[in-house]
Amino acid sequence: MNQNESLKIVIVGHVDHGKSTLIGRLFYDTGSIPEVRYNEIAATCKAQGRAFEFAYLMDALEEERDQNITIDTASTFFKTAQRPYVIIDAPGHKQFLKNMITGAASADAAILLVDGAEGVREQTRRHAYVLSLLGIRQVVVAINKLDMVNYDRNRFQKVENDIRAFLHSVNIVPSYVVPISARDGENIAKRQGKVPWYKGPTILEALDTFGNVRGDAGAPLRLPVQDVYTWDGKRIYAGRVETGQVNKGDEIIFLPSGKLTTVKTIEKWQETDLSLAGAGECVGITTEDELFVERGEVISRRKRKPVKARKIRASIFWLADRPFQAGKTYTIKLGTAEAQATATAIEERLDSSTLEVTERYAAELLPSEVGKVLFTLKNDIAADLYSDNIRLGRFVIEDGLLIGGGGIIQGLTDESGTSAQRICLNEHLIIGDEGSSVDLAGEGGGIEFDVSTEFLDYLGQGNRVLFRLRDLTQLEPVAHLAFEHDLVFRFSRAAEGINIILYKRGVLDEVVDDVDDGTYI
Amino acid sequence: MYDHLDELEAQSIYIFREAYRKFENLAMLYSIGKDSTTMIHLARKAFFGRIPFPLVHIDTTYKYPEMIAYRDRMAREWGAELIVGRNEEAVTSGMGPERGRLVCCEKLKSEGLTRIIEQKQFNGLFLGIRRDEEGSRAKERVFSPRDKNFEWAYKDQPPELWDQFNTSFEPGTHIRIHPILHWTELNIWEYIQREKIEICGLYFAQNGKRFRSLGCMPCTTPIDSGATTLTEIIEELKTLKDPERAGRAQDQENAYAMQKLRAKGYM
Ligand SMILES: Nc1nc2c(ncn2[C@@H]2O[C@H](COP(=O)(O)OP(=O)(O)OP(=O)(O)O)[C@@H](O)[C@H]2O)c(=O)[nH]1
Ligand SMILES: [Mg+2]
């Protein structure tokens, strides 16, 4: 059974623009609606005295059909020759944004639907922004109800331009903008020939162009401890590998406690001698040393580990009816960890539809608003920047008993108040045939160096070391290192990214003084 | 290779472990069907062979004898604690589908369940429902709160995202936990085959008929089928046009029958 992994697609957009109808039509045109189900919908519509509503496939609740509106998100399943899909319908009404986010948060890709007659509206923009906050970058735009404007090409292009411009402002480039009519079934699964000027894919074809997004084996290991079982005389750390891979015999560190040990076994029921587990797998881990580690600690390697955070700066979206308040303490849940977090400041308050900053240092956020918030935590938590690791770079905020909002981490600071991670140069130095290097590209947050005499001796022997930087923010500590220890600092353009070569003056200067040919041997 | 079934399995294990950690007093509703039997297999994967909570079966007295025999044999084999709940009052009063199918479901199943939850003070209950079964189930959360009257506030469900679940609740209320919500009927069968899970014999064809969904005798109709092996069932499933629960009479009573039953605490 070699099925591909499934892909989850969410359909978003303004209320009444035809999201549920699109799904119903897609199923109908591919023969995926069971006959009894079709008859049931037809009977309901007849009783209501209206034409057949494809939306009723998803809008199954009585209240939804009475008001012709989607209240809650629903999932349905669909398969093409390429792969299985989960299709997630999201409600468009502003009042149900929490349900829209519940649906969209698990999606790998999205179809953003815009009514071609009405054009871009408030929730079109809000949903587009939510997609970008949630990190959904694979987006197809569908311009719907073109039957109402006689499939007019100019009208289509006007709406296309509007939506492209807005998507650009939230860093989304749609892979296609498809002219459709969900009611008539134009460009859903078939072409009816109403838009001869359009040469691109149908919605169905566009789905299969989405790429798989999970399982980057090269990402650093993150295995949050979900529970600790002491069964059969063993102490098993249960958890899911969120990113990367864990191997038997790996030297690992638990954070925030900082405890070090080695992986003794990887355990699953009825499987013996497992040597590794990759992203997405739920496993148990036993360790060489008897540690007493609790739920919430994160297993990683000593290199490229998460930050032990005390302060978090995040973009949060608020969904609860009660406002989110500056100065109040909330429980945040990140991975399997929980922490009491005081909202020290709401630095910016944003209208999530216009993206306008409505206030700085605000007292509260209302439902559906987005804010840039600084949290101060009562206890350490292992976290990553969202840009480094999506899984450990996001959290939810509890308001009373229930989840009230979510956050995307943009800044992290540890207990000492510096946002720096200490990088031991000796440990990070890789000496290879192609030269020596220190790879900083995988380090999230700020960095500081621990400089050992061995490292300086190594340079003193005339060796050059290439530093691979993640971004320009790492220039400063590297430059500082060069200044402090009187090293030559130069850029190398041999490879992608920002690379710096450091070496001791005098040893090889003559040879490479003028031209930087990119070598660093 | 890590495939679609592995992905579904891992998600279920994650949900089980999350619930086990967060709830003091858990139970799993065991309906004897293929879904709850698969759910038990997944629980054993999550807990390294154990089932660390009791199984609850709501006995309506209308189940097929084969189902009851299978239930008791499997519970022994798994080493599970089995609690059989029954709405004695309704049973004694002669409740049956002739008094109305929906009334019967509500009395014997929903109320039978309510009683056992109250009696045993369960605050978390695993249920093997799936989103592809029916419209109101398609809208369920993985952790779904029920109020003091066991009612489901389907018009105002809390957000649930990034595998962070709502696990806090007021006293007297409970949370329904749905570990296989994201599976389809076909996924279940493919997984049963892959994992060699033993299921109740009524699913396999005898004399040209088999059950696609198992329930109470008066309200469950078998389908015409010659499928006597898992491979044949899976092949047959790919050609069937009717929905899975077409043979369950209570679903067909009226347009929103399931929604209404479920709002009041039905599975
Ligand atoms: N003329 C025309 N009407 C359409 C089309 N697509 C949808 N509609 C109608 O627009 C109305 C709203 O459609 P829905 O699919 O319910 O809209 P929605 O986006 O799902 O709405 P919410 O989920 O409530 O946000 C229905 O009455 C549909 O019949 C279309 O292509 N052409
Ligand atoms: Mg809708």
Question: Does B253 have pLDDT greater than 70?
Answer: no
Q: How far apart are CA B61 and CA B173, in angstroms?
A: 28
Percent of chain B with pLDDT over 90: 41
A34 or B36, higher pLDDT? B36
**Whose CA is closest to A387, among A309, A471, A327, A454?**
A471
Q: What percent of chain A has pLDDT over 70?
A: 93
Summarize pLDDT for A123-157 with one digit per residue, the tens.
999 999 999 999 898 999 999 999 999 999 999 99
Weakest mean pLDDT among A37-46, A418-427, B83-92: A418-427
- Whether residue A521 is predicted with pLDDT greater than 70 in this model: the reply is no
Between A421 and B24, the more confident residue is B24
Cβ–Cβ < 8 Å for A499, A492? yes
CA of A198 to the centre of ligand 1 (A): 22
For residue A69, how far is its CA from the centre of ligand 1 (angstroms)? 9
Q: Do B241 and A75 touch (CB under 8 A)?
A: no
Cis omega before residue B218 (within 30°)?
no
Cα(B54)–Cα(A298) distance, rounded to whole angstroms? 31
The total of other beta-carbon atoms located within 10 Å of residue A117's CB is: 16
Condensed to tens digits (0 to 9), the pLDDT of residues A446-467 reads: 787 888 888 988 998 888 999 9
In this structure, are residues A121 and A163 in contact, taking their beta carbons and an 8 Å threshold? no
3-state secondary structure of A189: coil
- Any B CB within 8 A of A3 CB: yes
Across A141-155, A502-516, B199-213, which has the greatest mean pLDDT? A141-155
Pairing of strands A329-334, A337-350: antiparallel
Element (H, E) at A19: helix A19-29
CATH architecture type of domain A7-208: 3-Layer(aba) Sandwich (3.40)
Residue A465 Cα to ligand 1 middle (Å)? 61
| ipTM for this prediction | 0.91
* Amino acid sitting at position A398: E
Q: How far apart are CA A52 and CA A32, in angstroms?
A: 16
Residues of B with CB below 8 A from A401's CB? 166, 168-170
Nearest CA to A284 among A270, A265, A297? Answer: A265
A459 vs A453: CA distance, rounded Å? 10
φ/ψ of residue A313, rounded to 5: -110, 130
pLDDT tens-digit map of B92-110: 887 777 777 777 777 778 8
- State the nearest Cα–Cα gap between A212 and chain B, in angstroms: 12
pLDDT at A52: 92
Q: What angle do CA A84, A89, A95 make, to 5 degrees?
A: 155
Residue A419 — very low, low, confident or very high, per pLDDT cuts 50/70/90?
low
Contact B259 A240 (CB under 8 A): no
> Strand A260-268 relative to strand A271-274: parallel, antiparallel, unpaired?
antiparallel
- What is the rounded distance in angstroms from the CA atom of residue B66 to the CA atom of residue B57? 15
Evaluate if residue B51 carries a pLDDT over 80: yes
Domain that holds residue B218: 191-251
- Compute the average pLDDT of residues B101-124: 83
CB pairs under 8 A between A and B: 151
Decide whether any atom of ligand 1 lies within 6 Å of the A122 Cβ: no
pTM, entire model? 0.85
Give contacts of B48 with chain A, Cβ < 8 Å: 229, 231-232, 236, 267, 269, 284
Give A55-73 pLDDT, tens digit per residue.
Answer: 998 988 888 888 889 999 9
Residue B65 banded pLDDT, cuts 50, 70, 90? confident
Report which DSSP code applies to B35.
Answer: H
The CATH number of A223-300 is: 2.40.30.10
pLDDT at A259 over 90: yes
Q: Which helix (H) or strand (E) holds A447?
A: strand A446-450
Please say if the pLDDT value at position A105 is more than 70: yes
List of residues 6+ apart from A205 with CB closer than 8 A: none
The CA–CA distances, whole Å, from B80 to A32, B31, B109, B178 equal 40, 14, 22, 20
- Which range (A441-445, B114-118, B210-214) has the least confidence? A441-445
How far does residue B246's CA lie from ligand 2's centre (Å)? 26
Our count of domains for chain B comes to 2
Contacts of A333 in chain B (CB under 8 A): 164
Same domain, B84 and B210: no
Same domain, B120 and B233: no
More confident residue, A1 or B215: B215
Q: How far apart are CA A71 and CA A97, in angstroms?
A: 10
Q: Are B128 and B33 in contact (CB under 8 A)?
A: yes
pLDDT tens, residue by residue, A212-224: 776 666 789 999 9
B210 with B172: CB under 8 angstroms? no
Q: Do domains A7-208 and A223-300 have the same CATH topology?
A: no
Q: For A303-372, give the DSSP string.
A: SSPPEEEEEEEEEEEE-SSSPEETT-EEEEEETTEEEEEEEEEEEEEE-TTT--EEEEEESEE-TT-EEE
User: Which residues lie below 8 Å from residue A476, measured CB to CB, with a gap of 6+?
Assistant: none
Interface of B with A in 228-247 (CB under 8 A): 241-243, 246
| Euclidean distance between CA atoms B222 and B209, whole angstroms | 6
Q: Which residue has the tokens 């529970």?
A: A227
The mean pLDDT value for B186-196 works out to 95
Of residues A282, A279, A285, A295, the one with CA closest to residue B13: A282
Grade residue A444 by pLDDT with cuts at 50, 70 and 90.
low
Q: Are residues B146 and B222 in the same domain?
A: no
- What is the reported pLDDT for B85? 81
Instruction: Please name the residues in contact with A152: beta carbons below 8 A apart, sequence gap of 6 or more.
Output: A146
Cβ under 8 Å to A: B residues 17-36: 17-18, 20-21
Q: Is A72 in the pocket of ligand 1 (CB under 6 A)?
A: no
C-alpha span between A382 and A406 (Å, rounded) = 17
Instruction: Give the pLDDT confidence of A263-322 residue by residue, as tens digits.
Output: 999 999 999 889 999 999 999 999 999 888 999 999 999 888 999 999 999 999 999 999
Please report, for the domain that includes residue B36, its CATH number.
3.40.50.620
Query: Which stretches of chain B are assigned E, i.e. beta strand?
Result: 26-29, 55-58, 82-85, 124-126, 143-146, 174-177, 209-210, 223-224
Residue A355 CB neighbours (<10 A): 16
B68 and B177 fall within a common domain = yes
Residue A3: the pLDDT is 47
Residue B155 is classified by DSSP as T
Residue A518: the pLDDT is: 42
For residues B200 and B169, membership in a common domain is answered with no
Are B164 and B231 in the same domain?
Answer: no
For residue B244, which of B159, B197, B185 has the smallest C-alpha distance? B185
By the CB < 8 Å criterion, does A238 face chain B?
yes
Tens of pLDDT along B11-31? 999 999 999 999 989 999 998
Q: Report whether residue A256 contacts ligand 1, using a CB cutoff of 6 Å.
A: no
Q: Tokens 């005389």 map to which residue? A: A233
3-state secondary structure of A301: coil
- Structural domain boundaries of chain A? 7-208, 223-300, 307-413, 421-520
- Ligand at minimal distance from the CA of A53 is 1
Tell whether ligand 1 has an atom less than 6 A from the beta carbon of residue A499.
no
Whether the Cβ atoms of residue B64 and residue B217 lie closer than 8 Å to each other:
yes
Nearest-Cα distance to chain A for B93, in Å, is 33
Residues B243 and B195 grouped into a single domain? yes
* A456 DSSP assignment: H
Q: Do A231 and B7 touch (CB under 8 A)?
A: no
pLDDT attached to residue A508: 52
Interchain pair A406, B134: CB under 8 A: no
Radius of gyration in angstroms for the set of CA atoms belonging to chain A, rounded to a whole number? 27
pLDDT beyond 80 at B254? no
Q: What pLDDT score does B104 carry?
A: 78
What single DSSP character describes residue B145? E
Ligand at shortest distance from the CA of A22? 1
- Whether residues B119 and B218 share a domain: the answer is no
Residue from the list A4, A236, A333 with its beta carbon closest to the beta carbon of B4: A4
**Separation of CA A25 and ligand 2 centre (Å):** 12
**Of B47, B155, B255, which is closest to A44 when you measure between CB atoms?**
B255
DSSP H helical ranges for A72-144: 97-104, 122-133
Q: Does any CB of chain B come closer than 8 Å to the CB of residue A61?
A: yes
How would CATH label the architecture of A307-413?
Beta Barrel (2.40)
pLDDT at residue A520 greater than cutoff 80: no
Ligand 1 geometric centre to CA of A17 (Å): 5
Residues B152 and B20 in one domain: yes
Shared domain for B93 and B14, answered yes or no, is: yes
Quickly list H helices, B121-207.
185-195
- Asked if residue B258 and residue B241 are part of one domain, the reply reads no
A288 within 8 A of A360, measured Cβ to Cβ: no
To test the pocket of ligand 1, the residue of A16, A58, A65, A123 to mutate (highest count of ligand atoms within 8 Å of its CB) is A16
Judge if B195 and B232 occupy the same domain: yes
DSSP string, B56-86: EEE--S-B-HHHHHHHHHHHHHHT--EEEE-
